[in-house]
Amino acid sequence: MDLKNKTALVTGCAVRLGRAISLELSSAGCAIIGHYHSSREEAGTLKDEITRSGGHIELLRADLSDSAERESFIQRVNALPRPPDILVNSAAIFFPTPLASASEEEWERLMDINLKPLFFLSRALGLRMKARGAGRIINIGDTAWHAPWADYIPYLITKGGVNTLTRGLARALAPNVLVNCINPGPVLMPGDYSPAQIDKALERTLLQREGSAEDIARAVRFLAEADYITGASIPVDGGRHIG
């Protein structure tokens, strides 16, 4: 797909991976529909940066974990003059849930933000892409989903679900819509990580270094442009998945 003059919807656009993805796709010629929830100031900063560089971004706020807000968000997206050619599901949360203390509320929060919106957004927008004859859906998983860390089991269950959802959507939306998943490794370490925690995160990474948000953004662009890849889960993790 030639990205010039295409439109990309990026969830969680304001910070971290979503921000880098938005900037990368904008630099490739895409108009951006930027979703954010609570990061209003950061979303405004992103809009300023894209606008200064000659790009275009339409910001839409929504709590995608709320079914009514999610449905309203889908309707607003569908009412825009240019429907999205590309959907990047990057909005997610991440926090520890040790087995002995994990609560049902924490479980539900992770599912409601990291997994459920991906299904409903991808269904609504993916079926419209299929009817138009072309589209891309790119999901963001996690390379650790197949070897879960003991203190993050519910989080990594959501990311395993993202990988399964990717394959199911690729089958359901074929041949017109290509659906793929990127599984990042140690990228954008949490700010409260100690040096020891960072070292532990990197010890199984073959390249022995942390990746960047831009590494993930470039992989998103590659999949958006690719015409013969669908149903794939691609690790962008410095070799951690085989470390």
Amino acid sitting at position 28: A
What is the rounded distance in angstroms from the CA atom of residue 32 to the CA atom of residue 112?
Answer: 24
Look up residue 61 and give its two tokens.
Answer: 């706020």
Look up residue 184 and give its two tokens.
Answer: 């990042």
In the block, which residue shows the tokens 């089958």? 171
Q: Which of 199, 206, 182 is nearest to 20 (CA)?
A: 182
> What does DSSP assign to residue 81?
S
What is the rounded distance in angstroms from the CA atom of residue 155 to the CA atom of residue 110?
Answer: 6
Annotated catalytic residue within 36, 155, 193, 228: 155
What is the rounded distance in angstroms from the CA atom of residue 37 to the CA atom of residue 28?
Answer: 25
Indicate the helix (H) or strand (E) that contains 61. strand 57-61
Query: Dihedral of CA 189/190/196/201: which sign?
Result: negative
Residue 136, CA distances (Å) to 7, 75, 160, 209 in order: 11, 19, 20, 30
User: Would residue 155 show up in a list of annotated catalytic residues for this protein?
Assistant: yes
What is the rounded distance in angstroms from the CA atom of residue 203 to the CA atom of residue 188?
Answer: 16
Query: Would you name the residues annotated as active-site residues?
Result: 155
